[in-house]
Amino acid sequence: MSGGWDTTEEFVKPGQEAHQWKIEKRASGDFLFKGVTVFFAFSILAILALVAMEMYVESLPIIHKFGWWGFVKGSDWDPVNGSFGALPYIWGSVYSSILALLFATPLSVGTALFITEILPHRVGGLVASLVELLAAIPSVIYGLWGILVMVPWLQKTVEPFLIDHFGSLPFFQGAPYGVGMLAAVLILMIMTVPIITSISKEVLLAVPQSQKEAAIALGATRWEMIRMSVLPYGKSGILGAVILGLGRAIGETMAVTMVIGNTPQLSLSLVNPAYTMPSVIANEFAEATSKLHTAALMEIGLILLGVTLIVNILARLLLWSVSRNEKGGIRQ
């Protein structure tokens, strides 16, 4: 007790100036530390701006030569003769992603509902963590499985069957290569389902218990409760999850590159090989020698960036609106 008193005495003794100095030093430490955190926090904004700007500057040569619209609607891609058009790649990306989402959405929402509303709490948690494991597997491993297991199966079993029985439809005209749009759609579906499921699950868990109890109290069956109180409440959140899945599908590179066949063509057929925007960048960028070729790939990257930015902004706004929490509680 007395020891403590002594040190205090000593501390005060040297006079006002030293004390003042200590306070100022503290303040400058605070100032410095705050400066560091401000710098790092704003670097996030800087990175985003830098990414967009770099891509734009690098694709200027091609924008000047073909114009925006000319590049987007051109379907000829011939690096040797300096002719570039992005349409087959845009088509491939859009077609594969939308089809994949078309199949993935009902599966994901069904699974999320089954996990949250029907399975017992513990079993549901187990299934949810299995689904999350599926989301953690890297894209290149899906591609490995796709090219060595799924593609041979498609080529020998599924595609001959589809062509034989439904060959009159435009969707199944062509030869069974194995690699192609169908393989890409399936692999994208497998890869987007875990993302959509786990976010939808979070959204559904945020539905207030009272909403469900009210429906049950009115005599609703479980499905009626889901349809009348769970789904309407989670609607915008689930839409956000689906759009986020769409962004992931459009940007997905490795797995798609490995199974889509990498042939730029405009075709409705699912059995034909196709090409996507990320795939052409992945395949050609390291080998692009002419300035124009690099710029063309950069502009494809820029289009890809633009599309994914819009999609992500939309998805986040929808998801943030679900959680009233100001920091946006639901994350992927």
Partner 1 sequence: MKGLILRHLKNHGMTLLMCLATLTVLLPLGLVFAYIVKMGFSSVNADFFTKIPPPPGEAGGGMANGMVGSALLIFCASALGIPVGVFGAVYLSEYGGSRISTVIRFAADVLSGVPSIITGLVAYTLLVVPMKGFSALAGAFALSLIMIPIVLRTTEEQLKLVPNSLREASLALGVPLWRTTLKVTLRSALMGVTTGVLLAIARIAGETAPLLFTALGNQFWSHKLTEPIAAMPLQIFNFAISPYDDWHRLAWAGALVLVVMMFTLSLAARSFGARKKHS
Distance CA 108, CA 124 (A): 14
Distance CA 110, CA 104 (A): 10
Residue with tokens 């924008």: 63
Q: Is residue 83 classed as helix, strand or coil in its secondary structure? A: strand
The CA angle 283-285-286, to the nearest 5 degrees, is 95
Residue list 241-260, contact with partner 1 (CB under 8 A): 244, 247-248, 250-254, 258
Distance CA 90, CA 170 (A): 20
Distance CA 63, CA 303 (A): 12
Binding residue for partner 1, selected from 62, 113, 184, 318, defined by CB under 8 A: 113
Residue 295 · residue 59 · CB < 8 Å: yes
Distance CA 126, CA 139 (A): 23
Binding part of the chain for partner 1, among 77-85, 106-114, 158-166, 169-177 by CB under 8 A, reads 106-114
Distance CA 308, CA 325 (A): 25
- For partner 1, the closer of residues 269 and 311 by Cβ is 311
Residue 175 · residue 164 · CB < 8 Å: no
In the complex, minimum distance from the CB of residue 257 to partner 1, in angstroms, rounded to a whole number: 8
Binding of partner 1 by 60 (CB under 8 A) = no
Residue list 3-32, contact with partner 1 (CB under 8 A): 26-27, 29-30, 32
**DSSP secondary structure string for all residues of 232-254:** HHHHHHHHHHHHHHHHHHHH--H
- For partner 1, the closer of residues 253 and 269 by Cβ is 253
Binding of partner 1 by 1 (CB under 8 A) = no
Residue list 62-101, contact with partner 1 (CB under 8 A): none
Residue with tokens 């009348």: 228
Binding residue for partner 1, selected from 204, 281, 296, 318, defined by CB under 8 A: 281
Total site size for partner 1, rule CB under 8 A: 96
Binding part of the chain for partner 1, among 5-13, 84-92, 170-178, 303-311 by CB under 8 A, reads 303-311
Binding residue for partner 1, selected from 58, 83, 87, 175, defined by CB under 8 A: 58
Binding residue for partner 1, selected from 4, 9, 209, 286, defined by CB under 8 A: 286
In the complex, minimum distance from the CB of residue 278 to partner 1, in angstroms, rounded to a whole number: 5
Binding residue for partner 1, selected from 20, 43, 210, 321, defined by CB under 8 A: 43
- For partner 1, the closer of residues 101 and 250 by Cβ is 250
Binding part of the chain for partner 1, among 10-18, 67-75, 159-167, 276-284 by CB under 8 A, reads 276-284
| 247-271 exposure pattern, b = at least 16 Cβ within 10 A, e = fewer | bbbbbbbbbbbbbbbbebeebebbb
Binding part of the chain for partner 1, among 3-11, 76-84, 169-177, 310-318 by CB under 8 A, reads 310-318
In the complex, minimum distance from the CB of residue 24 to partner 1, in angstroms, rounded to a whole number: 11
- For partner 1, the closer of residues 1 and 23 by Cβ is 23
Other beta carbons within 10 Å of 139: 17
Q: Could you give the string, one character per residue 202-241, with x where binding to partner 1 holds by CB under 8 A and - elsewhere? A: ----x--------------xxxx-x---------------
In the complex, minimum distance from the CB of residue 72 to partner 1, in angstroms, rounded to a whole number: 18
Closest by Cα among 135, 196, 199 to 328: 199
Other beta carbons within 10 Å of 146: 24
Contacts of residue 78, defined as CB under 8 A and 6 or more positions apart, other chains included, come to 84
Binding part of the chain for partner 1, among 69-77, 145-153, 163-171, 263-271 by CB under 8 A, reads 145-153
